[in-house]
Amino acid sequence: MKILIAEDDPLTLDALAACVESDGFTALRAADGRQALDLWRSDRPDLLCLDIMMPGVDGYEVCRRVRAGNRDIPILFLSAKNQEIDVVVGLDLGADDFIRKPFTRAEVMARIRSALRRIAPREGKDDFQLGDLRIRPRAMIAERDGKSIELTPREVTMLRLLHDHRGDPVSRDAFLDTCWGIDYFPDSRTLDQHVFLLRKKIERDPANPVIIQTVRSAGYRCGAVVPG
């Protein structure tokens, strides 16, 4: 999924891009409103994060123009302008949310995931099953026993890879190439750390995993009984 970030402060732009990329999103960076509109037209992002005060075309105007052409795409304002009137104007223009600066990484990512879930279909052709766990990629959640488990895009990709190779080991290189990209060179513990955290989310007993099993000297495989 692609997140367009429009922010005229380079340090804030880099920090926000790093936030979304760490969760497996693709960050599209715009240093001003005009560049944001160009990227929206050319790259068709899944969500927009807009600063308000930008040179040339401000965030309000970007929101107005995008909403004129797309009523559904989630739009979030991130701004130091935090008076009630600023929030009201932004929401009246069609924004989904307004995040006040300074903000934390956890808050930004939670708001982004929430906005994307609102536009995800309840059931989709991309949904898949791992044992008793139903994965809904577009909503970025897993469901079990009527409860939802939040997932990042990278975690969804990891589970999709296990599903597509169910019963067979998936090598560490395959995980890194598919879930991080061939141009990314994580340290030797990156994959293991992500697997550890994902098991804590989705396994009934993380100490005795069923969905993500370790295959010594080979990688990981899905050990759950998968329908079909």
Indicate the residue among 119, 143, 167 that finishes a domain: 119
Indicate the residue among 100, 119, 138 that finishes a domain: 119
- Cβ–Cβ under 8 Å, residues 8 and 34: no
Domain co-membership, 42 together with 90: yes
pLDDT band for position 228 (50/70/90)? very low
DSSP bridge pairs for 29:
5
The closest alpha carbon to 116, from 146, 150, 163, 90, belongs to 150
Q: Residue 122 pLDDT > 90, yes or no?
A: no
Q: What is the mean pLDDT of residues 72-88?
A: 83
Domain co-membership, 27 together with 112: yes
ω into 206 cis (within 30 of 0): no
| Per-chain mean pLDDT for the chain | 88
Q: Residue 226 pLDDT > 60, yes or no?
A: no
CA distance 185 to 202: 26
User: How much of the chain, in percent, has pLDDT values that exceed 70?
Assistant: 93
- Counted domains in the chain: 2
Domain co-membership, 115 together with 180: no
Domain co-membership, 29 together with 115: yes
Structure confidence by residue, pLDDT tens digits, 133-188: 999 998 899 999 999 999 998 999 999 999 999 889 999 889 988 888 755 555 66
Which of 45-49, 104-108, 120-124 is most confident?
A: 45-49
**CB within 8 Å of 79: residues ≥ 6 apart:** 51, 52, 53, 59, 86, 90, 98, 99, 100, 101
- Cβ–Cβ under 8 Å, residues 130 and 122: no
Residue 40, in any domain of the structure: yes
- Domain at 35, CATH number: 3.40.50.2300
pLDDT at position 25: 92
Domain co-membership, 148 together with 103: no
Sheet of 75-79: strand order equals 26-30, 2-6, 47-50, 75-79, 97-100
Domain co-membership, 95 together with 195: no
For 184, other C-beta atoms within 10 Å of its C-beta total 11
- Cβ–Cβ under 8 Å, residues 28 and 48: no
Question: What Rg, from alpha-carbon coordinates, does the chain have?
Answer: 19
128-130 and 97-100 beta bridge pairing: unpaired
pLDDT at position 1: 86
Residue 16, in any domain of the structure: yes
For 151, other C-beta atoms within 10 Å of its C-beta total 24
Residue 199, in any domain of the structure: yes
- Domain at 151, CATH number: 1.10.10.10
Q: For residue 73, what are the domain limits?
A: 2-119
Q: Residue 83 pLDDT > 80, yes or no?
A: no
Residue 63, in any domain of the structure: yes
Domain co-membership, 112 together with 142: no
Domain co-membership, 11 together with 109: yes
DSSP for 118-186 reads HHS-SS-TT-EEETTEEEETTTTEEEETTEEEE--HHHHHHHHHHHHTTTS-B-HHHHHHHHT-TT---
Domain co-membership, 85 together with 173: no
Domain co-membership, 201 together with 145: yes
pLDDT at position 94: 86
CA distance 11 to 30: 13
Indicate the residue among 91, 119, 147 that finishes a domain: 119
Q: Residue 47 pLDDT > 50, yes or no?
A: yes
Please tell me the total number of residues recorded for the chain in this structure: 228
Residue 228, in any domain of the structure: no
Residue 227, in any domain of the structure: no
Domain co-membership, 73 together with 143: no
Q: What is the mean pLDDT of residues 19-31?
A: 93
